[in-house]
Amino acid sequence: MTTITVIGSLNYDLVTFTDKVPSAGETFQANSFENHLGGKGLNEALAVARLSPKEITTRMIGNIGNDNFGKELKQALVDSDVDVNFVKTLQDQSLGVAVILVEEGGENRILITAGANGELKPSKEEYKEYFSTQHDGFVILQNEYPDTVKTMDWLVANRSEINIAYNPSPFKKDLITHEILRNIDLLIVNEGEALDVERYLGGSVDNGKVDAATKSDNISRFSELSTKLQGMINPFKVNTVIITMGSHGCVFVSKGLEPQFHPSRKVKEVVDTTGAGDTFFGGVVLQLALGKDIGEAVKFATVASSLVIQKKGAAESIPKYEDVSC
């Protein structure tokens, strides 16, 4: 059975809903407050597991604190059939926390406190244990734990047959180099991250022109950029780049294919975009692991993420396989 392993963050989300985000020194009355399970690692693992027709083994590698939040989060993974053998409980650390401000219209701003996630620094011996049985499939990575690059290096040196799927979020310019990109098999970025990657690798970008461009101009611009980024990542496996464009949709390119645009799925009301990107990412990787082509994978993931934005919360809003109708 094919395996997808997610390495990354496990957080508790503290969410405030507000008509607007206050400026510096300003106090503003918010509308409501909620708490939810979250973290990019958790969201991605739940997305893979819930969206799978049970033909995939989903594993989570991460840290939680010895508190009720951590226990609740780990149970949520278990309830979704995620393998949690390598979710470690740290005795002297709190669970990671994300403070999320959701504005009217659903756009969000997120502040992360690492907590136990900041101690996720596996040794070589631990990597050997993690991957003693996995010799295929994907490993999903992001930047919400300290050792993303070391993980890539170990996998390339010791399990080169596994595809590395990477979302460089939150963006860290020191983790964007030609050497690091060559280790990646599937790169997924949003518009801003794509432009940041180009900028820090020596390209020239006029963000103002891109922001002011029409939708068709942006499709053309990001199609060109996706091809450029594809040439920087590992050419020997799935060799796929996806640039998400918010409510417009996404541009993607894969081995043997020209760049293509896929529109977003329109919904009646956007409630909360938190977790939509992680669900899209997990959905794409899952479909590729099941042997689907990139066009089918993007179509499926687009529908799945459109369901997320119609509900509050990240983890709780991730749909199941039977909910997704393409």
Q: pLDDT band at residue 326, thresholds of 50, 70 and 90?
A: low
Between 126 and 111, residue with greater pLDDT: 126
Task: Read off the pLDDT of residues 153-200 as tens digits, 9 standing for 90 and up.
Answer: 999 999 999 999 999 998 998 999 999 999 999 999 999 999 999 888
- Show the CA angle centred on residue 273, arms to residues 176 and 171, nearest 5°: 15
- Determine the Cα–Cα distance for residues 205 and 231; give it in Å rounded to an integer: 18
The whole-chain average pLDDT of the chain stands at 92
Is the alpha carbon torsion for 38, 41, 44, 50 positive or negative?
Answer: negative
Q: How many whole angstroms separate alpha carbon 111 and alpha carbon 42? A: 17
pLDDT confidence bin for 273, thresholds 50/70/90: confident
Q: Which of 216, 293, 292, 209 is nearest to 261 (CA)?
A: 216
Encode burial over 12-47: b for 16+ CB neighbours within 10 A, e otherwise.
bbbbebbeeeeeeeeeeeeeeeeebbbbbbbbbbbb
C-alpha 229 chain-centroid distance: 18
Give the domain ranges of the chain.
2-23+30-323
Q: Check if the beta carbon of residue 285 is closer than 8 Å to that of residue 56.
A: no
pLDDT-wise least confident of 93-97, 147-151, 164-168: 93-97
Q: Is 18 left (phi over 0), alpha (psi -120 to 50) or beta?
A: beta
Please tell me which residue, 325 or 53, carries the higher pLDDT value.
53
The CATH class that applies to domain 2-23+30-323 reads alpha beta
Concatenated DSSP letters of 126-175: HHHHHTSS--SSEEEE-SSSTTHHHHHHHHHHH-TTSEEEE---S--GGG
Instruction: Kindly list the catalytic residues.
Output: 278
pLDDT at 10 over 70: yes
28, 20 Cβ separation under 8 angstroms: yes
Q: What pTM was estimated for this model as a whole?
A: 0.90
Give the list of residues 6+ apart from residue 79 with CB closer than 8 angstroms, or none: none
Closest CA to 53 of 312, 300, 316, 276: 300
State yes or no: pLDDT of 209 exceeds 60.
no
Amino acid at 126: E
pLDDT for 187? 98
